[in-house]
Structure 1
């Protein structure tokens, strides 16, 4: 299996490596960075386990989960973490987190485009969806800017910070992506 490497105008997605743990901890261990995510800040041990699971998922056959490091184009350091998990019916769910220092720069929309390129162009999917916290309006704007459509609300979707929380869902279909015409994405991948 060829490792995933997708490049956009400013960002690239690559496979997670053991050396990414500290940079991932700077995101997943940060209360601000995880405020709207579906989990509370992680410990170093929990982040090491995420790194190990990400590497194991890359070697699974068949591969159903793509946990990838987000980097600046031409750089190797992880500035975010992206995930695409395939589902039955040629579908997948996506999610991502960027380091707070990278917020507000349009990198979220580019990350979504890269994940859609992986899903539609490489994996041949029909539908990709994402969910966000109702309070994370910036994420909603990002998903819409990336070409997704708001679908609705899942009530009491996740239990986080001691309470049930709804999620707002978004999706994009292959035919919408094909006619989107955004971003020239380059990459290689097999499997």
Structure 2
């Protein structure tokens, strides 16, 4: 699917563009934002690489990476929204979401809109059956927003990520298509 362009009343989701490096750097270069991520704060060259890879991945015939800009109604980029689709196994129909918002946008309810857009993309447009996401065990904001959007906490992956401070666990949340659209399990 290209180009991706979805919106809710408060947030839009679109493909990355070359001019998105500085707004994305304001997210991924911020130590406060990176505190709960699976990586250390990024520098300008790293963010340029993220934007370049996202633009290239968007045009692949067998696209499995949806790395998208989250934008306010006026067009201001305030988030990175990601859906990675597992296309390696013919019996699987799942995807993993990730999201990061600029710190000055926290607490405004935009996280739920970002998750809703990712779920719409995965379930309505890509036909997925299961979507999951992982969070830092101390990131209670992510826990709350995923729960509010119907994602169920499944458990903890112990020693999942090696960061500068050592190994970190991740807590997994998921939602199935029938749960999302209110239908009974098939």
Shared fold per TM-score greater than 0.5: yes
Gaps in structure 2 of 5+ consecutive residues: none
Aligned-partner SS, 1:119: helix
TM-score (structure 1 length as normaliser):
0.91
1:153 is aligned to 156
* 2:109 paired residue number: 106
Deviation by residue 1:71-129 (Cα, 9 ceiling, x = unmatched): 012x2221110100001401000000000010001110110010000000000000000
- Structure 1 unaligned regions, length at least 5: 181-191
CA distance in 2, matches of 1:136, 1:150: 13
Query: Is contact 1:155–1:167 with CA below 8 Å preserved after alignment?
Result: yes
Equivalent-residue separation in structure 1 for 2:29 and 2:140 (angstroms) = 22
Shift of 1:161: 2.2
Is 1:140 aligned to 2:139, yes or no? no
The TM-score, its normalising length taken from structure 2, stands at 0.94
**Alignment root-mean-square deviation, CA:** 1.1
- Bigger relative contact order (CA 8 A; separation at least 6): 1
Q: Give the count of matched residue pairs.
A: 179
Quick check: 1:20–1:77 contact (8 Å CA) kept in 2?
no
State the partner residue of 1:11: 11
Residues 150 and 169, structure 1, Cα contact 8 Å, conserved in 2:
yes
Aligned structure 1 segments of 4 or more residues deviating by more than 6 angstroms: none
| SS of 1:42 mapped into structure 2 | coil
Offset from partner CA, 1:38-60 (integer Å, 9 cap, x none): 00000100000000000011011
Alpha-carbon distance in structure 2 between the residues aligned to 1:116 and 1:96: 12
| Kept in 1: contact 2:2–2:58 (CA 8 A) | no
Distance in 2, Cα, partners of 1:2 & 1:78: 19
